[in-house]
Structure 1
Amino acid sequence: MASYFGYNRELMVLFLQMFSPAECLEFIEANEQPRPLVIRANTLKTRRRDLAQALIQRGVNLDPLAKWSKVGLKIYDSPVPIGATPEYLAGHYMLQSASSFGPVLSLAPEPNERILDMCAAPGGKTTYVAQLMRNSGSLVANDLKKQRLKATVANLHRLGVKNCAVANYDGRKLPAVFTGFDRVLLDAPCTGMGVIARDPSIKTQKTEKDVHRLAHLQKELLLAAIDAVDAKSASGGVVVYSTCSVMVEENEAVVDYALRKRAVKLVDAGLEHGKPGFTRYQQQRFHPSVGLTRRFYPHVHNMDGFFVAKFKKYANALTHRDTDDNIEDDGLSKRAKRKLQAANQQASDNVQANVDEDLSAASEDEEEAQGSSEEEEEADDENEEEAVAPPVVATKPASKGKATPTAAPKAQEAQEARAPNKFANKKPQKGGKPFNKFQGGKSGGGTTVKSGGGRPGGFTGGRATTATGEPKPPKQKRFMDNKMAQVRMQKRQKK
């Protein structure tokens, strides 16, 4: 079906997700038929009856648009270009699609109000708003593209609008410039999936990526439009959001997002025609009030596809829900969210249990490592004791009773230089006792060491001895070794 009607495959998949196969075929076939030409009588300069009589005299075949419109005329055929008649040049009417009447009728502007049209070009809805305001109050027509504003200014002059100021700002930043409006109209940029009959290039140029990109922009614009309106307005506090697209991602999903991000509520759009919006779509569940929005289809209403939603702002302060900066939403139902929360909690509990188990195992390994490290440190200290023991020297009695050492071998001096003494920088303990037990008492006190039993270089292999030749008790060494092991363990635990 996509190749037969000239659509790309992505768009056809999106349409089949929204409609049943039979209704999708009706929608596609309706897009192949041209829409009726519609004009809107400008009541600032004429009445619809007088305009109809003037055009009939020129051979134009026309009828009133519908019961819901008091200014629309449907043109069937015309012997003259309908956009070049004297009545058109005089500003008696405006060429405008029937579906674009809906947003202005839903906005319901009143005289002497402050109203903003955020995306105004080329000015069809703006001039209709000024017409309903009877050229009173203040109207701001804003658009991002400066080139399109030229057509807006031309239409304002041609139709005799005098209460409108034209602005060229990014709509997302507009609340920093203009605020305090009674009503705001936002006809947001969209993919144009409802006006394929007017622009067949949409069939091949638009993709699903464009839908999501524009949906993000529409959310930002809608939040800005809500921020620009004054909730304390006696007659207004109204925001109307509309698109010429039938995609749910650009319509109901955007409206549901605004309901969660701002202090607004949906009210009846005030339109007699149109179908209610979706409250659920595939796996997404929207707020029940989204059913108050209105949808228009070419195969049902014989007009361009359109969407209209009307908000009422009840507070100027941001809601607590706006603290979340994520612009996207999962759109899950409450039941699905509860299941997801339960699964996340179960996963968190499992992770915590694994962490506790790992910590207990690590503590056991740490205790074992502590015991083995103490044994290794004791062995290392014994080896260091052997390495730093003083060399054996031969002594001979002196004349005054002092021991005079002989010269040590050069190899012995080199070995002593290579063996560092880790206790060399330690301060002595209290009571004047040396910290290093290998450092003897006072010099010349007759302290000697027992020979190492033939070790190379003259190093001893036993412990230090006292003057009587008995081995020194190792209690102080064990105490210090245990103390140092405890200090090392405390440092490791702190790290």
Structure 2
Amino acid sequence: MFLPEIDDRCHELAERYGVRPYMVARYLTFLGRSETERLLKHMEDIRPAIRTNTILIDPEELRRVLEEKRGFELKRCPEPVDVGFWILNDPPISIGATLEYMMGYYVPQDAASMLPPVVLDPKPGDRVLDACAAPGGKTTHLAQLMDNEGTLIAIDVDPDRMRALKSNLARCGVANAVALRMNALDLPSTDWEFDRILLDAPCTGEGTIHKDPSRKTSRDPEDIATCARLQRRLIDAVVDVLRPGGVLVYSTCTFSPEENELIVQYAVDEHGLEPEPVDVGWADRGLRVPGVEPKVRRTCARLYPHRHGMGIFFVARLRKPLS
């Protein structure tokens, strides 16, 4: 656990931006003063976004309808998440109340959250697992990347979130997915085997502050340690059902290197997984973290509000060796 000394600078910035001093101390350690101030200043400046459901509609057709008929002002997200649009105005109709939403033409989703399914790159005919799937934003994205073909298993342990997952799959016309209430930690007890697995892991969620400002003060270092322990157990579980040569994408919406680079390093050390580059030219690389190999840092991707206009996010891609 990285717990730098909390000095007067930390208290000053923490008071100015309403966050916990330990968070500031960690940002300063890994990012420096200038980047830390920019991050804190823009942490809540994230535009809402929607992702086109290409199972049902083309992105430009959706854009035309929403701009001409619903009063939206939209800006296309950059490749490779260019099926998404940022919403530039306050539309006269809520994004969850339009006819197009109810018909499943789009999914409200932060632009950063569109990246993990693209990095996983599932193909039609693949066997794919979304290991922490609810409420289904990434699951429906996986389905459209698979052309609604193959086998997509979506599991989650939370019964309330499972209802949202099933509703979103139905609304979006997903035909290749099965939603199961299941704890991902129980995967080793099955005889399943997957070509590709997405593990968007439970985390401390610093990247959600723009949606939930209470997150600025609602977590402490013990929460980071708790999440990291769970994330390591989840890695153990999903690797067990990943076929040799298969691909795992690991993602979180938090800053903590204990939940990011160090989890990827754990997967490399304990399971022999090989990190592969996340080829997004505009993303940052991983942090320089003690105990993390350069090949791990260089292959990971990080997103920040002040640099990318997206919430704090982390993505890594790993491949299981053939033998």
TM-score, normalised by the number of residues in structure 2: 0.92
Encode CA deviations 1:185-213: one digit per residue, 9 max, x unaligned: 00000001122122111111100111111
Aligned pairs for 1:470-485 within 5 A? none
Match of 1:144 among 157, 180, 192: 157
Encode CA deviations 1:406-446: one digit per residue, 9 max, x unaligned: xxxxxxxxxxxxxxxxxxxxxxxxxxxxxxxxxxxxxxxxx
Partner of 1:285: 291
RMSD: 1.3
Are the counterparts in 1 of residues 131 and 155 from structure 2 also a CA contact under 8 Å? yes
Partner of 1:320: none
Partner of 1:74: 86
SS at match of 2:318: strand
Please state if 1:128 is matched with 2:141.
Answer: yes
Higher CA-based Rg = 1
Q: Give the unaligned 5+ runs of structure 1.
A: 317-495
* Mapped partners of 1:272, 1:68: distance in 2: 10
One-letter amino acid matched to 1:36: R
Are the counterparts in 1 of residues 80 and 115 from structure 2 also a CA contact under 8 Å? no
Are the counterparts in 2 of residues 103 and 240 from structure 1 also a CA contact under 8 Å? yes
Please state if 1:64 is matched with 2:73.
Answer: no
SS at match of 1:182: strand
Please state if 1:197 is matched with 2:202.
Answer: no
Q: Give the unaligned 5+ runs of structure 2.
A: 1-12
* Mapped partners of 2:137, 2:285: distance in 1: 25
One-letter amino acid matched to 2:164: A
1:315 deviation in Å?
3.7
1:178 deviation in Å?
5.0
SS at match of 2:100: helix
Please state if 1:52 is matched with 2:35.
Answer: no
Aligned pairs for 1:223-242 within 5 A? 223-231=236-244, 237-242=246-251
Partner of 1:249: 258
SS at match of 1:231: strand
Are the counterparts in 1 of residues 187 and 240 from structure 2 also a CA contact under 8 Å? no
Are the counterparts in 1 of residues 252 and 260 from structure 2 also a CA contact under 8 Å? yes
* Mapped partners of 1:32, 1:65: distance in 2: 18
Match of 1:6 among 6, 10, 18: 18
* Mapped partners of 2:101, 2:274: distance in 1: 40
Encode CA deviations 1:279-303: one digit per residue, 9 max, x unaligned: x32xx13122111111111111010
In 2 relative to 1, CA 39–118 (structure 1 residues): closer, same or farther, beyond 3 Å?
same
Encode CA deviations 1:348-379: one digit per residue, 9 max, x unaligned: xxxxxxxxxxxxxxxxxxxxxxxxxxxxxxxx
More strand by share: 2
Q: Give the length in aligned residue pairs.
A: 308
TM-score, normalised by the number of residues in structure 1: 0.61
Partner of 2:305: 298
Are the counterparts in 2 of residues 105 and 270 from structure 1 also a CA contact under 8 Å? no
* Mapped partners of 1:258, 1:173: distance in 2: 18
* Mapped partners of 1:310, 1:48: distance in 2: 27
Are the counterparts in 1 of residues 300 and 317 from structure 2 also a CA contact under 8 Å? yes
* Mapped partners of 2:282, 2:145: distance in 1: 20
SS at match of 1:83: coil
Encode CA deviations 1:61-90: one digit per residue, 9 max, x unaligned: 112122433311121121211211111111
SS at match of 1:205: coil
* Mapped partners of 1:272, 1:44: distance in 2: 27
Partner of 1:274: 283
One-letter amino acid matched to 1:261: E
One-letter amino acid matched to 1:295: R
Encode CA deviations 1:216-252: one digit per residue, 9 max, x unaligned: 11111112111111015xxxx0000000011111100
SS at match of 1:128: helix
SS at match of 1:27: helix
SS at match of 2:316: strand
